[in-house]
C-alpha cells in the first residue's frame, strides 16, 4: 500500500487482516483445493464468488426440513417454506436499504435488467393501462447508457430501442476508461427517459459517481437503472441514499448460490409496471380472455420460485453483514492497491484503467505486452492462480481502450496478501516462459 494515501482500511477501527481472513477461509472449503499441484489462488470473484459452507448447508437444511411450494397450498410445510422465502426477502431488502415489496427475485442480474426492459417494452405496446404510460417509449425518446457497461446492461437496452423506435445513446469513456462526466450533461437531454449505468465497472473495478449521474437524470425527469452486480458484493450499498429508481444485483457474486438474483425498484414504479414473465402465482383473477395482476413483488414472480436459492442468498447476506461491508470494502481496497501497484511495477505489464487514486474495488485488469490474455491465463492456471481472461462481456469498453481482450484479477473478502503475491510472482514469469521481451 502506498504510504502517501490514507485508505478506508487505515481509518477503520477494526480493519480486516490476514489473521482474521485466514479464519474466514476455513468457511470456504474450496479454497483448500490444490490446482495443478499448487494451492488454489482464487482471483476470479468478479465472475463468481466462492460460497461459505453455511450457504449450501442452508439449502440442504431447507430441502431436508421445509421443502414445499411457496404462496400456495395450506399445509404446514407450505406455510413454513413461505415464511423462509419471505424472511429472506426482508434480509436482502434490509441489506440494500430497500423495503420488502421493493425486491423482486430473478434468476440473475441479467434477468433483472431484462425484466425492466421487457416491462417497458410491454408498456410501449400499450399494456398496463394508464398507470404504465409513463414507461412507454417511442420515436423521439432517448435511452442513455455508458460505454463501460457489461453486455447485460447494454443489449437489453439496444433491443428495447429497436422494439420501440427510441434512440440509444451513451456516455463515452476516455482513453483510460474513465467515464466522460464532462460530456454527460450534454448527452442527457430533456428527451432522455432512462439512464442505465453500472455502479462499478466489471472490467476496471472503478466506482462511478452515482450521485452526479442521478442528479443529471432527475433534472430531465429520466428514470435511473443501476447495475449493482459489482458493487453490492463489495461495498456498503444503500439504494435510498443512492436515490436510484432500479438496481439489478446478482446472488452468486456475493457468496450466494447460482440461479438467484434480484431487482430493486421503487414500490410505486414496480406497482405501475406491466409484468414481464406471466403465468401462475402472479395474478388476482383470470378469465379466458384476460388477467388481473398482483402488486409487486409477486407481479414479477411467475411460476414456482427458487426457494432454496433465496434462502441460501439470505444466509450469504447474513454472513457478509456479520463480517461487515465497511471492513470488506476496506480490505479489498488494500488488496486492490497492492495488486495494482505490484502489477504496474512488473516489466511489460500494463494495467488498464485510471491510475491509483481513482475509487476502485479490488479489481485489476491488465495486459502483458507480447502475450495474449488467453495464454497469460493458461500460464497463471498452471501455478494455481485463477483469473478471468477475454473481453469480460464488455467488448465496447475493450475497443475504447484499444485492446481486444485483457486479463482480470479480482478479489473478495477471503483473499489474502499472499494470494496477491502469488499472482504477482506468476505474472512476473509470463514473458520469460513465452520467450517475449528477451
- Is residue 396 a contact residue for other proteins (CB under 8 A)? no
- Is residue 428 a contact residue for other proteins (CB under 8 A)? no
Q: To the nearest whole angstrom, how small is the minimum distance from the Cβ of residue 433 to other proteins?
A: 8
- Is residue 395 a contact residue for other proteins (CB under 8 A)? yes
- Is residue 56 a contact residue for other proteins (CB under 8 A)? no
Greatest Cα pair distance, the chain, in angstroms, is 75
The residue among 24, 41, 54, 26 whose CA lies nearest residue 331 is: 24
| Residue spans of beta strands (DSSP E) within 308-395 | 349-351, 363-368, 385-386, 388-390
Interface region with other proteins, contact rule CB under 8 A, candidates 5-13, 343-351, 368-376, 424-432: 368-376
Interface region with other proteins, contact rule CB under 8 A, candidates 175-183, 314-322, 356-364, 366-374: 366-374
Q: Is 54 a catalytic residue?
A: no
Mind giving me the DSSP string for 287-306?
-SS-EEE--TTGGG--SS--
The residue among 96, 119, 58 whose CA lies nearest residue 307 is: 58
User: Based on CB atoms, which residue is closest to other proteins, 117 or 405?
Assistant: 405
| Residue spans of beta strands (DSSP E) within 233-348 | 246-250, 261-265, 283-286, 291-293
Beta-bridged to residue 265, according to DSSP, are 246
Q: To the nearest whole angstrom, how small is the minimum distance from the Cβ of residue 373 to other proteins?
A: 7
Q: To the nearest whole angstrom, how small is the minimum distance from the Cβ of residue 43 to other proteins?
A: 17
Mind giving me the DSSP string for 174-234?
-TTS-B-HHHHHHHS-TTEEEEEEESB-TTT-BBP-HHHHHHHHHHTT-EEEEE-TTTTTT
Q: Which of 181, 372, 400, 428 binds other proteins (CB under 8 A)?
A: 372
- Is residue 433 a contact residue for other proteins (CB under 8 A)? yes
Interface region with other proteins, contact rule CB under 8 A, candidates 127-135, 361-369, 370-378, 408-416: 370-378
- Is residue 36 a contact residue for other proteins (CB under 8 A)? yes
Q: Which of 405, 410, 411, 416 binds other proteins (CB under 8 A)?
A: 405
Whole-angstrom distance, CA of residue 105 vs CA of residue 269: 16
Q: Which of 199, 234, 398, 431 binds other proteins (CB under 8 A)?
A: 398
Q: Which of 214, 389, 422, 426 binds other proteins (CB under 8 A)?
A: 389
User: With the CA atoms of 345, 347, 350 and 355 taken in that order, what torsion angle do they form, in degrees rounded to the nearest 10?
Assistant: 20
Q: Of the residues 21, 232, 393, 413, which is catalytic?
A: 393
Q: Which of 374, 417, 429, 437 binds other proteins (CB under 8 A)?
A: 374
Q: Is the peptide bond before 414 cis (omega within 30 degrees of 0)?
A: no
Q: To the nearest whole angstrom, how small is the minimum distance from the Cβ of residue 391 to other proteins?
A: 4
- Is residue 106 a contact residue for other proteins (CB under 8 A)? no
* 256 sits in which H/E element: none
User: Based on CB atoms, which residue is closest to other proteins, 57 or 429?
Assistant: 429
Q: Which of 97, 324, 348, 390 binds other proteins (CB under 8 A)?
A: 390
Q: Which of 286, 404, 432, 437 binds other proteins (CB under 8 A)?
A: 404
At 275 the three-state DSSP class reads: coil
Whole-angstrom distance, CA of residue 46 vs CA of residue 289: 46
Q: Residue 276 class from Cβ within 10 Å (0-12 exposed, 13-18 middle, 19+ buried)? A: buried
- Is residue 402 a contact residue for other proteins (CB under 8 A)? no
Q: To the nearest whole angstrom, how small is the minimum distance from the Cβ of residue 58 to other proteins?
A: 32
Helices 307-323 and 53-65: crossing angle, nearest 10°? Answer: 140
- Is residue 366 a contact residue for other proteins (CB under 8 A)? no
Q: What angle do CA 264, 266, 268 make, to 5 degrees?
A: 140
Tell me which residues are annotated as active site: 393
Give the footprint of other proteins on this chain (CB under 8 A): 36, 371-375, 378-379, 382, 389-391, 395, 398, 404-405, 433-435
Amino acid at each position: 500500500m502506498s504510504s502517501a494515501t490514507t485508505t478506508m482500511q487505515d481509518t477503520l477501527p477494526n480493519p480486516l487482516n490476514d489473521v482474521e481472513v485466514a479464519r474466514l477461509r476455513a468457511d470456504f472449503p474450496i479454497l483448500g483445493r490444490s490446482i495443478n499441484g499448487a494451492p488454489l489462488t482464487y482471483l476470479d470473484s468478479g465472475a463468481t464468488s466462492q460460497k461459505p459452507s453455511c450457504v449450501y448447508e442452508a439449502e440442504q437444511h431447507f430441502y431436508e426440513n421445509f421443502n414445499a411450494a411457496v404462496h400456495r397450498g395450506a399445509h404446514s410445510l407450505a406455510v413454513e417454506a413461505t415464511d423462509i422465502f419471505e424472511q429472506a426477502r426482508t434480509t436482502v431488502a434490509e441489506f440494500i436499504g430497500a423495503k420488502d415489496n421493493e425486491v423482486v427475485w430473478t434468476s440473475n442480474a441479467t434477468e433483472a435488467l431484462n425484466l425492466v426492459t421487457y416491462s417497458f417494452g410491454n408498456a410501449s405496446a400499450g399494456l398496463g393501462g394508464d398507470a404504465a404510460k409513463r414507461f412507454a417509449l417511442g420515436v423521439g425518446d432517448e435511452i442513455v447508457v455508458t460505454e463501460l457497461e457489461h453486455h447485460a446492461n447494454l443489449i437489453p437496452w439496444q433491443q428495447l430501442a429497436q422494439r420501440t423506435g427510441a434512440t440509444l445513446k451513451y456516455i463515452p469513456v476516455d482513453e483510460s476508461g474513465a467515464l466522460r462526466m464532462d460530456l454527460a450533461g450534454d448527452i442527457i437531454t430533456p428527451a432522455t427517459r432512462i439512464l442505465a449505468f453500472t455502479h462499478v465497472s466489471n472490467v476496471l473495478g472503478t466506482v462511478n459517481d452515482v450521485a452526479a449521474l442521478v442528479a443529471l437524470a432527475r433534472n430531465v425527469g429520466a428514470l435511473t437503472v443501476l447495475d449493482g452486480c459489482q458493487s453490492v458484493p463489495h461495498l456498503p450499498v444503500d439504494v435510498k441514499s443512492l436515490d436510484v429508481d432500479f438496481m439489478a444485483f446478482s446472488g452468486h457474486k456475493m457468496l450466494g448460490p447460482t440461479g438467484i438474483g434480484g431487482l430493486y425498484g421503487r414500490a410505486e414504479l414496480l406497482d405501475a409496471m406491466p409484468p414481464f414473465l406471466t403465468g401462475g402465482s402472479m395474478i388476482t383473477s383470470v378469465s379466458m380472455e384476460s388477467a388481473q395482476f398482483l402488486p409487486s413483488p409477486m407481479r414479477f414472480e411467475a411460476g414456482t420460485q427458487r426457494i432454496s436459492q433465496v434462502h441460501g442468498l439470505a444466509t450469504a447476506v447474513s454472513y457478509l453483514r456479520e463480517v461487515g461491508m465497511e471492513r470488506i470494502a476496506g480490505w479489498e481496497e488494500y488488496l486492490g492497491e497492492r495488486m495494482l501497484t505490484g502489477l504496474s511495477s512488473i516489466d511489460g505489464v500494463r494495467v488498464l484503467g485510471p491510475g491509483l487514486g481513482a475509487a476502485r474495488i479490488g479489481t485489476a485488469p491488465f495486459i502483458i505486452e507480447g502475450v495474449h490474455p488467453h495464454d497469460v491465463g493458461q500460464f497463471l492456471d498452471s501455478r494455481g492462480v485463477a483469473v478471468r481472461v477475454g473481453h469480460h462481456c464488455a467488448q465496447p469498453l475493450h475497443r475504447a481502450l484499444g485492446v481486444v481482450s485483457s486479463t482480470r484479477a479480482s478479489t473478495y473478502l477471503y483473499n489474502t496478501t499472499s494470494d496477491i503475491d502469488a499472482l504477482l510472482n506468476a505474472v512476473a514469469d509470463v514473458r520469460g516462459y513465452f520467450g517475449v521481451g528477451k
